[in-house]
Chain A
Amino acid sequence: MRLQALFKPKTIAVIGVSTTNDRHPANVIYYKIHHRYPVEIFAVNPHGGSLKDDPVFPIISDIPRQIDLAVIAARADYVPEILEDCIKSDVQSAIVVSGGFAEAGRLDLQSRMVATAREARFPFIGPNCLGIYVPNHVDTFFLPAERMVKPDTGNVALISQSGGILVDQMIKFTEEGVGLSKAVSIGNKACINELDLLNFLARDGETKVIAFYVEGFGKDEGREFVLAAQKCPKPVIVLKSGKSSGGQRAVSSHTASIAGDYQSFSAALAQHDGVVEALNELELVSFCESLSSYQTSIDGNIGIVTGSGGHGALAVDACSAQGLSVPELGEATKKEIKDHLSDSVKTIASIRNPADLTGSAIDDDFVWTVRTLCTIPEIDCVIALLLPYLPGITMDLGARLSSVSKQTGKPLIAYVPHVDKYRMLIEGFELNGIPVSPSIEGAVLMATALRRSKPW
């Protein structure tokens, strides 16, 4: 299926606008695209009329331009016919925002749309969805512009069965500084499903990481999905809801009882290289941030640099729980680090792994220690636990450590408490493409993502 028209439309028709109710979802979509995106937009409603100064076309075939994307927000009963009109008028693709289909017991309406679309090889997203957000190109979410939180433009594509979860994850991405290439809410996924989008995004030049929120796959579709994900040259992250099996069906074999829906889901993902299951939202955002920064995989030998022994100990525990190793440093390395520390730190620092530089450390001590760990082969990823409240630490440290990682080519992950006061330190990392987590656990999860992803 050709999906380019969906993601980079030059002309859009919004079908179902209201001339009497400006808060109608179709109107919100119409105005938003009209005012903010480089797209030619047309409004459609069978009654015609006008919307502010713009004409409302009674039927899509009246529009004097070829339409790349039709956004349909009309009542469910009318939608199958509207879809047929679109196909007749040579529209290239559609997003069906309207609800009231399979999710509301009207599988008949949905099946009719699917049959029409399949025959014409016509791609549509939905029904019962928010549609697509592509930074600077298109936004079909029926949420007023002032209410939406949009992450920076970046390289992570996010696909969600639930529109609400998608919008929420966009807020989390914004908070964590994770950039987005595309966000798609697929709703009932009657036509375009996860597999279609995976195949499209695998070749999308703007996307390096593909993340999914999945409630469930259709019959045998999970199998096709993991096989495609294994072949995909980009890391694929999946967060699954519905892990606990409510209403366990009666099963007559031990195997069917133990290997429930979620157990099978999780096992099939774990078996295939290139797919990483995120167990919760923290894992999802941490994995996305880390894989968006680094397209390398590591064996999982972590060097930890900290300004407090407690932070180091918690990080070691988290590494151990994730199956990462924190190897002991050689004597020569320890001496090399210690010899170059500032005089007041040299005598009190505990230089092992984790290297505890203590609360007296200054920027130069961190830069030197991180640099040394970045150059030894025993360590393949460095986690820096930074406590910006220490008097010797300045806001410059983020940018300085970032350049150490860039020069040595070794992945660096930072932990910095996320409050406005420390924003400049955080941005020193983020703007240089170094992932920063607001929690020690999150920083360790970022390293986990690199270990669990395959080399590509």
Chain B
Amino acid sequence: MVKKEILTILETSEQWGWVLEPDAKRIFSLDGFDVPKFDVAKAPGDVRRIGTKIGYPVVAKIVSPDVLHKSDVHGVAVGVNSDTNLQNVFERFSAIEGFEGMLVEEMISGTELIFGAKYDYQFGPMILLGFGGTGVEIYKDVSLRMAPIGMNDVDSMIHGLKAKKLLEGYRGAEPINMQALKRSLILFSGFVMKLKDRIESIDLNPVICTPKRCVIADARIILKTSK
């Protein structure tokens, strides 16, 4: 079952062809995924209150229906550690095309993965797992499967990553919470199957994996154009 609020958000988003990040975070949160604490500052007066509520340091991101790739317009600031700095970021973002607000969220550090989905013409919904971040298309260290996937698929997808040792506690680092990763990926597969008729592709990038959590730090949902 898809929650009514999720459908409402998707319908509202159709005008842009994709789902704005705060809305996408809300969708994943509603469906049981772990997302960072977040709020959106719409006016300069919101900044201090939200910054304090989330707790410094924070990540700030542009919210604009005209900006699909935030990094490309310098619309992301990480490690913002004070009211003043956050206020400055807000001012800078305000000048970006289509500015509707600034997403402020809890900063989480860990191993950056990508969860992806796409509707393939020949094979239907596909699920991707890989090492994420901005270099994802350079390293292309990914595993791909036809959805839905089961636990065996999840195990073999993780096994198929060249850099999988980085997840297992490489050179003294603490291993990530593998159960949380597997659970999130299965949940993601279920999400994609439920909404396969509406969604063209999804990037959850990065999904940040820590020894405790598996958190969706960014989410981009591209909707099918002809419904």
Chain A residues near B (Cβ < 8 Å):
216-223, 226, 251-259, 261, 263-265, 267-268, 271-272
Contact = CB atoms under 8 A, between A and B. Distances in A.
Interface string B162-177: 0000000000000000
A110 to B, nearest CB: 19
A256 B200 CA distance: 9
B146 A223 contact: yes
Interface stretch (B35-43, B73-81, B119-127): B119-127
6 contacts: A253-B202, A253-B203, A255-B201, A258-B144, A267-B126, A268-B120
Contact of A268 (B68, B146, B200): B146
Contacts of B68: 252
Contacts of A251: 201
Contacts of A255: 114, 116-118, 128, 201-203
A253 B121 contact: no
Interface stretch (B44-52, B55-63, B134-142): B134-142
B224 interface: no
A263 B143 CA distance: 10
B153 A271 contact: yes
B22 interface: no
A253 B124 contact: no
A256 B201 contact: yes
Contacts of A263: 144
B93 interface: no
B122 A220 contact: yes
A51 B1 CA distance: 67
Nearest to A251: B201
Secondary structure dominating the interface of B: strand
B116 A226 contact: no
Contact of B116 (A220, A259, A267): A259
Contacts of A223: 122-124, 146
Nearest to B119: A256
A223 B118 CA distance: 14
Contact of A218 (B122, B142, B146): B122
Contact of A258 (B120, B122, B124, B128): B128
A221 B122 contact: yes
Interface residues of B, number: 30
A253 B222 contact: yes
A268 B121 contact: no
Contacts of B118: 253, 255-256, 259, 264
B143 to A, nearest CB: 8
Interface string B97-118: 0000000000000000010111
A268 B123 contact: yes
B137 A254 contact: yes
Contact of B122 (A217, A257, A271): A217
B125 to A, nearest CB: 9
A257 to B, nearest CB: 6
A259 B146 contact: no
Contact of B137 (A221, A257, A272): A257
Interface centre among A223, A226, A253, A263 (most CB of B within 10 A): A253
B210 interface: no
A271 B130 CA distance: 17
B94 interface: no
B205 interface: yes
Contacts of B116: 253-255, 258-259
B205 A219 contact: no
A220 to B, nearest CB: 5
A264 B122 CA distance: 9
Contacts of B126: 259, 264, 267-268
Contacts of A222: 120, 122-123
The 3 closest A-B pairs by CB, nearest first: A255-B116, A222-B122, A267-B144
A252 B153 CA distance: 26
B90 interface: no
Given A217-B122, A226-B123, A265-B123, A258 B137 contact: yes
Given A223-B146, A253-B118, A271-B145, A258 B123 contact: no
A254 B205 contact: yes
Contacts of A253: 116, 118, 200-203, 220, 222
A345 B143 CA distance: 50
